[in-house]
Amino acid sequence: MNVRKNFEFIANEFVHGGHLQSLGASSIVYVSAVFLNIELKWSSLVVAYLLFYPLYLYNRWKEIEIDYATNPDRTMHLRKYIHIMPIIFCLVIAAIVGLLAYFGNLSSFIFGLILLVLGLLYTTIFKNVTQKIFLFKNIYVSAFFTALVFFTAVFHSFSISGQSVVVIIVLMAFVFLKSFMMQIFLDLKDLVCDRKQRLKTLGVIIGEKKTFQILPIISIITTAPIIIFFSLYIHLFPSLILFLLLTIPFDFFTFKIVQDKNYFGYILGSGQFVLWAILVLIGENLI
């Protein structure tokens, strides 16, 4: 019985504790290293994971009561160990500083800490800006995932010059657009709370039904043009990137699941970047 309870706790923690999204951060680092032709360091994957985990932990810790209205299961799970969240938070911050100092370089150390600080300030300061600026929340969160492309290059002391500059810019644009679409979708699960907080998300402004109507269009527009143009016509990326076109049917599938009133669709959607790593890994072994 204890084994089953422990397994359920671990499964719930993975889903509700921000670990899936943090694993997505590591996935972006992996995918970026592949397309930048960088010899990947395992430490960069760990650092990326740890950089994002405290951001989700802090946000859910501070908004645990507000969150209950739309995420009761998550709130009930987090309450089980809310008393030790400050300890976990401090330990993770210490680990981040230590890993950046030991495995990284001065540039990645500074850049990593800037990301960490700005990420923590989102909950206390920048989230409320969405009350005044339309889609600011989506732009801000997407910018963090996008920054991981540059972080990958800096952490591995990659020479950013010539064609590599174009590759990084295009890859960052692709990550930003896909993340932006993903955030619009994930915002729908917090629609009630966002309305109460007067946040100007797309779902709040145009409604859930209309948002679902345009999400498939956004998915195609943010995925196909960049991949096809910069791979098949410009040859900036290897044909391996074409595997990421499979994220389009994945998006459609998650949209459909949520429209059928199944919360699991949001869980799948938050694992968007983990799918990228899986598709690229499969592609590397097939091509």
Amino acid 141 reads V
**Residue recorded with tokens 């983990």:** 274
Residue 145 is predicted with a pLDDT of 96
- Is 1's pLDDT higher than 70? no
161 — pLDDT class (breaks 50, 70, 90): confident
With a pLDDT cut of 90, the percent of the chain lying above it is: 67
H or E element, residue 230 = none
Query: Residue 6 pLDDT > 70, yes or no?
Result: yes
Average of per-residue pLDDT values in the chain: 91
| pLDDT score of 234 more than 90 | no
Mean local confidence (pLDDT), 225-248: 92
Predicted local confidence at residue 16, as pLDDT = 87
The arithmetic mean of pLDDT across residues 143-151, rounded, is: 96
Where does the pLDDT of residue 4 fall: very low under 50, low under 70, confident under 90, or very high at 90 and above? Answer: confident
Instruction: Report the SS3 class of residue 69.
Output: coil
| Range with lowest mean pLDDT among 49-53, 119-123, 189-193 | 189-193
Residue 120 in this model has a pLDDT that exceeds 80: yes
pLDDT at 166 over 60: yes
- Asked if pLDDT for residue 143 goes beyond 80, the answer is yes
Mean pLDDT of 146-175: 93
Nearest to 20 by CA among 264, 285, 279: 264
Instruction: Give, for 261, the enclosing helix (H) or strand (E).
Output: none
- Burial class of 2 by CB neighbour count within 10 A (0 to 12, 13 to 18, 19+): exposed
What's the rounded Cα separation, in Å, for the pair 65 and 72?
9
- In angstroms, the CA 275 to CA 287 distance is 18
Query: 82-86, 94-98, 148-152 — which is least confidently predicted?
Result: 82-86
- For 119-133, 168-182, 217-231, which range has the lowest pLDDT when averaged over its residues? 119-133
Mean pLDDT, residues 5-26:
91
| Higher per-residue confidence, 254 vs 287 | 254
pLDDT of residue 19: 94
Domains of the chain: 2-286 (1.10.600)
Overall pTM > 0.75: yes
- Across the range 68-88, mean pLDDT stands at 87
Q: What confidence tens digit (pLDDT) does each residue in 257-269 have?
A: 999 988 889 999 9
Q: Report CA Rg, the chain.
A: 19
Mind listing the pLDDT tens digit for each residue in 88-113? Answer: 999 999 999 999 999 999 999 999 99
For residue 152, pLDDT beyond 70: yes
Assign residue 133 a region (left: φ > 0; alpha: ψ between -120 and 50; beta: otherwise).
Answer: beta
- Provide long-range contacts, Cβ within 8 A and 24+ apart, for 168-172: 168/36, 170/226, 170/230, 170/236, 170/237, 171/32, 171/35, 171/36, 172/146
